Structure 1
Amino acid sequence: MYHHSGNAAHPAGSSATGLLEPASHEPEALYFQRCTWCGTAMYQRVLCPACRGSDLRPERSDGTGTVRRSTVVHRYTPAARNVSLIEMDEGFVVRGRVMGALIGIHGSRVRLSTARDPVRGEPVFKLLHEYRA
């Protein structure tokens, strides 16, 4: 079942941000959009960035991706945290936080841990293979 918000359809129970609130029997999930015209995957868009189409269908991500950029933020927080751009396996990019090491995670494989951080509202990821010295 879908409801429409503007030009993008979202699964029932989801917000306009592309996140699904977990049901008691279903783990949290990250939803993205795919253009029905050209097949481009994107996150939280109204129009396709490739063809400008507005017919976008929601899909559930498998939750795995690769850290493409990461920076450590010290402002407005009692402890340092990272802000990362994750390229998901489906081809879209999402901004989120990676738990664990603050530096040296560029190129690391990650998996979705929480679809919505309670403070920032961003997805939280965990490293698939942590480096151990």
Structure 2
Amino acid sequence: MGSATDVLDNVPEEHPGDVLLFQRCRWCATAMYNRLLCPVCAGSDLLTEASAGTGVVRHSTVIHRNTPAARNVSLIEMTEGFTVRGRVMGSPATIHSGDRVQLSTAQDPVRRQPVFQLVDGSYGGWN
């Protein structure tokens, strides 16, 4: 049976900061990030899997508080089907919905969120 500790125990030792782990429900195959129960069927039997690290920005907001410079907070829809909140590197004004991103670091040391980088740097629009 999956648990919250499985997420921490299954980090590959060779790249602990470069792997984004998520859960997949054994009953309905829903992919989710950092959950204890499946949001679709409420199942608790979750498998921990490693993400390929690619996704698309679905929403990005510029934050000005509690930081010396503006930063972005983005919702990234990952290839595996789950959504994660994180930061995209670069100028916050250049991050748009539809931009393709690649995982840079699985956990920012300050905000404890994944950090992504733009794949092609161009505005992709909604897919």
TM-score category of the 2 structures, normalised to the smaller one: 0.7 to 0.9
> Which of these residues, 95, 112, 116, is aligned with residue 103 of structure 2?
112
Deviations 1:54-89 (A, max 9, x none): 000000000000000000000000000000000000
| Matching of residues 47-126 of structure 1 within 5 Å | 47-103=37-93, 104-126=95-117
1:8–1:56 contact (8 Å) kept in structure 2: no
Q: Which runs of 4+ in 1 moved over 2 A?
A: 11-14
RMSD: 2.1
Gapped regions of structure 2 (runs ≥ 5): none
Aligned mates of 2:40, 2:4 — CA distance in 1? 16
Identity across the alignment (%): 60
Q: 1:11 to 1:83 in 2, by over 3 A?
A: closer
Shift of residue 101, structure 1, vs aligned partner: 2.8
> Which of these residues, 46, 68, 78, is aligned with residue 36 of structure 2?
46
Gapped regions of structure 1 (runs ≥ 5): 15-19
Q: 1:11 to 1:106 in 2, by over 3 A?
A: closer
Larger fraction in strand? 1
Q: How many residues align?
A: 121
Does the residue aligned with 1:70 lie in a helix, a strand or coil? Answer: strand
| TM-score (ref. length: structure 2) | 0.86
2:99–2:122 contact (8 Å) kept in structure 1: no
| TM-score (ref. length: structure 1) | 0.82
Partner of 2:15: 26
